[in-house]
Each structure stands twice: as structure tokens, then as C-alpha cells.
Amino acid sequence: MVAGVFSLVLALLPAVSSGTAAAAPKPPGSTIPLGEGYMGAGYLADGKNFAPDTRQIESGAEGSVSTQATQAGIDVSHYQGTINWSSVKAAGISFAYIKATESTTYKDPTFSANYLHAYNAKVIRGAYHFARPSLSSGAAQANYFAGNGGAWSRDNLTLPGMLDLEGGCSGKSTSAMQSWILDFYNTYKARTGRDVVIYTSPSWWNTCTGGWSGMSARSPLFVAHWTSATSPSIPSGFPYWTFWQYTDSGSVSGISGAVDRDRFSGDSSRLLALANNTP
């Protein structure tokens, strides 16, 4: 009887090859396996495969803003491991974006701990969703995000959620991608009352949406441009940047290894106003 039960258990176990689990599937139109997306995961490939945009416009509607006056930030996911958020705060980090979800099935395993500990350390933080436009509708992914970490509250420490767009065009035309993004935006705003932040690079946005201007009056821009320049290149269709990811190889106390470093375009009062949705 024992041998028979043991045989049955073995039969029900998932098959493995040479002791290695099967690799995560790659969604259509993407080179990034499901669950492995993070801010910057597709940046280099997008810059290589798509035509670059070298247009540079400084942050803020009023014009140039010194990088010395901006607020320092980071973005993280499970790739950063366990984070000492008190040390991160002491290192001068004012804000962080933390990966929450991907598609409609994946939640980052470190999100809950990071989100809570960042809050306790008084780091203003927001959640982000790694978009998978080839797998389901914008509305479906926005609902999953809002229900699994992407919600918002006016508590001085919560930024609006962010939509991470990179890693190829998912087989969609520019008009279809525009519709997908708007679907996500409308659903997220109906759920949370906030305009979703959009993270993207000039190469991705200009190619996959055709340099669409339809989100410039709706969503703050989080631009990806890894450079030592004093201002980033920004996508066509946006007049200025609000957040800027300027490197993927930063170093911050409390985090082992490299971490993405970011800037916010204004001072601490403007960061707080964005978090609380106040003028």
C-alpha cells in the first residue's frame, strides 16, 4: 500500500528535466519571460531595436529645473532582495516605486514587505505594474493591479500607481497600443481616483504608440534615459518629465548590489502634493 501511494504521488508531481524547472514562458511579442519584468528590463533592447529620440526637454512646465533641486528616488523589485528601508531613508532617498504586479497572474513576492517597510521608514512610495499588452486587456490588468497593491490613499506617503511600458510592442499596431493604454488608464482612474503614472523610454513610446500625445494631459511621465547628462531625452507627445530613471547601476545604503536611481522634477513640497493629489 505504501509503495502504491508513493508511486501515485510521483505520477502527480510536475515533470522536471535534469532537476531544473521549466523556464517561464515569454509572452507574444516580448523577449522578457513572464514574472521577470521590472523597470528597465526592456530598455536596452528597445533602444537597440527602435529608432532613438535625442530630443531633450527639461522637467517642469515652467522650464529648466536643476538636478540639485530634485528629490532622489529608487525603483525596486524582488531582484533587490531584502531591503533595509531605514538605511535607504537615511541615505537621502525621498521616494520609491515598488513592483507589485504583472499581467493578471503575477504579484512580486517582495512587494508586501517592501511597501510596508518603506511606509514605516517614511519613504514616499508607489506601486507599479509591468504591462503585458499581448496577454489581456488594459482594463483587466488595471483591475488586477488596483486589487493587488496598486490602490491609493491620501496619507502623505502614497504615490499614484505606475504603468511600466517597455520590452517591444507586443504585436500591436500603434492605434491598438494607444487603445490598450487608455483602457488601462480609464479603469485605474475609476478604481482609485488617480491618474496613472507612465514609465517608458523615448524609443518605446515613439515606436509603439507613434509618439502619441493623448496621455500628456492625463499622466505624469516617468522617463527612462540612462545618462550622465543634466536632462533626459523624452518621448514625443510629452512636454516634460516628472520622474527620471537615469541609471540602472546606482548604489544606495540598505540595498545589496545595484539599484535603479531616479529623480523627481520638483522639491519635497511638490512630491508631497503629487502623493496627496493636492495643488
State the catalytic residues: 75, 164, 166
C-alpha cell at 236: 514625443
Q: Is 78 helix (H, G, I), strand (E, B) or coil?
A: helix
N residues, the chain? 279
- Residue 140 to residues 5, 25, 165, 215, Cα–Cα distance (Å): 41, 20, 16, 19
Q: How far is CA 64 from CA 32, 41, 127, in A?
A: 36, 29, 28
H or E, element range at 245: strand 243-250
Distances (CA, A) of 79 to 65, 102, 244, 259: 32, 15, 20, 9
Given a contact cutoff of 8 angstroms between Cβ atoms, the answer to whether 101 and 252 are in contact is no
